[in-house]
Amino acid sequence: MAQMLADRRDVDFILHGQLKVEQLSAHKAFGDFNKKTIDLIVSEARALSLKELLPAHGIGDRVGVRYQDNNVFVPPEFHGIYEKLSNGQWIAPSDDARWGGQELPLVVTQAAYNYLFAANYPACAYATLTHGAGKLVEVFGTDKQKNLYLKKMYSGQWSGTMLLTEPEAGSDVGALTTMAEKNEDGTYSLTGNKIFITAGEHDMTENIIHPVLARIKGAPEGARGISLFLVPKYHVNADGSLGERNDIFCIGVEKKMGIHGSATCSMTLGTSGQCIGTLLGEENKGMAAMFVMMNEARLGVGMQGFGCASASYLNALNYARLRIQGRSIVADPKETNGVSIIQHPDVRQMLMTMKVYTEGMRSLLYYTAFLEDLAKISDAPEEKERLHDMIDILIPIAKGYVTDRSFDVCNLGIQVFGGYGYTCEFPQEQLLRDCRITQIYEGTNGIQAMDLLGRKLSMKNGKLFKELMSEIKREIGAAASIVSLQALSAELATAIDMLDEVTGFLFKNAVADASKGAAYAHATLYMEALGDVIMAWMLLWRARAASQALDAGAIKQDILFYEGQIQGVRFFIKRFLPVITGKLFAIKNLDSAPVMMNDKSFGV
């Protein structure tokens, strides 16, 4: 059975029917990217994914990485993938051309990554981490650092990663113990240990550039005393050539549930007292630098999880159409022939659930990237601020909610296959395993929920949430003008009113000492409820665009697709909106049982 990655018809529908991204080409920054060019770029990413990345997906899982004497060897097939991603300029497609980027609209990059990640995101991680490290250099580096590192990173000649987590300082980054001491020449000597470092060591590039979080000797305790340093695997001479080996080594790799082809390394710095790095940005401003890059990183993780869901859904849909088993429950009693399992109501409801979440999540991820593009071309400071505010409040949903629901979709993807889904004969079980880590790294989803409740809702006196609600209500008003969507729009409007009320209630209790613990115990439930409302918004927007296309006289081969959009929002609002209401009622109860429990009451 052929494996699937993403529905090209749906990708095009979001880009051109929902978001109308070709409008970006009217602006100088994106003048080269008309509809034809955008479609060619997406087609190129799709072809690369099917031809090169997908065949190595299972191989990377079975072969994994090999550790020997401080060295890490990745599956041989990954070398060719990394080379093609580098040669195709897929490492920094939306970045400054001065440093090797293509300056694509970020929404087009998202569409391309939809295919690349769905095909083999463990292999892509080496490239995307290189981009993240390079972006830190681009934003915070000195001219010397940019000239030494940036082009070679964005071109893929050198790779990059991020050394953040430590054995005793996981999510609590402020508790890190890695130290830096300034040398007379202005460099720093670093000592410490880091764990869970993706791509910290491998054999695909001649040099690896490590941004490292550490505390300068004598700096304040906690997060306010953390600085960021550039520590190359091999020292770089003034002319850009490689010098001696730096005192930073991999001392082991993790054996993991999934992403076996992605090296998760334990790193040690300065065991011989010779780990030398240079300051990146200002002293004690390392965490601030990381937060600047956090939106992009978390949006990327959302796309990684979603890539697994996208592939799992299409695989399940294809299998359900081909797998013959059982009689139809509505067939004539005399009919004995079996039918494809897509004819069975329970399978159909599973596929429908996968469909609406997959399409809603794809729209959300593309839309969030599109907001970045709109902010880039806007000349109005107030509009720029509004767009960035929208991005800030959507990021916890794009990372936390999307990866949670992506895992759910992958779980259903196994169920549709039945027993075969649990075997390694089909890709469904690997997609589930690979998806699981996206709920953990770049800030666990519980942290995303707490960030949403504790930070995003309070920013600018609640302005971010109010703007989000205004945007959703605008869409409800537009959809209500279409007869077939009027009742559904009204139901979503009622849910919005309740969400608004509960948000105020929950936030008020989150800042009150007496009920703060109970409020934060409901943060994940709140993120789920808000995410569900945003899914309904995206699906209603899609249904409106589809209805307008039908009214305009859609071509024959598109009619069923557009009708499917209208059925999709109907299914979601009728099936899941009552559940959203239940979640909001549960939040209003603000039950404090979890925080009142004695530690020993949980069990032995």
**Which residue in the block uniquely carries the two structure tokens 């050198």?**
158
> Average pLDDT of 248-276?
97
- Looking at the chain, the whole-number percentage of residues with pLDDT higher than 90 is 88
Q: pTM of the entire structure? A: 0.96
Among candidate residues 591, 308, 345, 255, the one with its CA nearest the CA of residue 438: 308
* CA distances (Å), origin 219, targets 215, 284, 456: 6, 7, 29
For residue range 544-598, list pLDDT tens digits in order: 999 999 999 888 889 999 999 999 999 999 999 999 999 999 999 998 898 888 8
Specify the pLDDT at position 577.
93
Please say if the pLDDT value at position 44 is more than 90.
yes
Specify the pLDDT at position 474.
97
pLDDT band at 415 (very low <50, low <70, confident <90, very high): very high
Q: What is the 3-state secondary structure (H, E, C) of 337-391?
A: CCCEHHHCHHHHHHHHHHHHHHHHHHHHHHHHHHHHHHHHHCCCHHHHHHHHHHH
Specify the pLDDT at position 145.
97
Q: How far apart are CA 495 and CA 142, in angstroms?
A: 50
pLDDT band at 291 (very low <50, low <70, confident <90, very high): confident
Tokens of 589: 């109860």
* Residue-averaged pLDDT of the chain: 95
Sorted by where each begins, the domain ranges of the chain are 8-154, 159-288, 455-604
For residue range 312-359, list pLDDT tens digits in order: 999 999 999 999 998 888 777 777 788 999 999 999 999 999 999 999
Are 479 and 540 in contact, with CB atoms under 8 Å apart? Answer: yes
Q: What is the 3-state secondary structure (H, E, C) of 325-337?
A: CCCCCCCCCCCCC
For residue range 496-530, list pLDDT tens digits in order: 999 999 999 999 888 888 789 999 999 999 999 99
For residue range 224-246, list pLDDT tens digits in order: 999 999 999 999 999 999 999 99
Which of 442, 467, 491, 501 is flagged as catalytic? 442
Specify the pLDDT at position 1.
65
Has 442 been annotated as catalytic?
yes
Class of domain 8-154: mainly alpha
Q: How far apart are CA 298 and CA 363, in angstroms?
A: 16
Please say if the pLDDT value at position 2 is more than 80.
no
Specify the pLDDT at position 296.
87
pLDDT band at 430 (very low <50, low <70, confident <90, very high): very high
**CA pseudo-torsion sign 492, 494, 497, 503:** negative
Sort strands 179-182 and 208-216 into parallel, antiparallel or unpaired: parallel
Q: How far apart are CA 456 and CA 464, in angstroms?
A: 7
For residue 65, what is the DSSP state?
-
Range with lowest mean pLDDT among 106-110, 220-224, 360-364: 220-224
For residue range 125-137, list pLDDT tens digits in order: 999 999 999 999 9
Q: How far apart are CA 523 and CA 448, in angstroms?
A: 9
CATH number of 159-288: 2.40.110.20
Are 93 and 26 in contact, with CB atoms under 8 Å apart? Answer: no
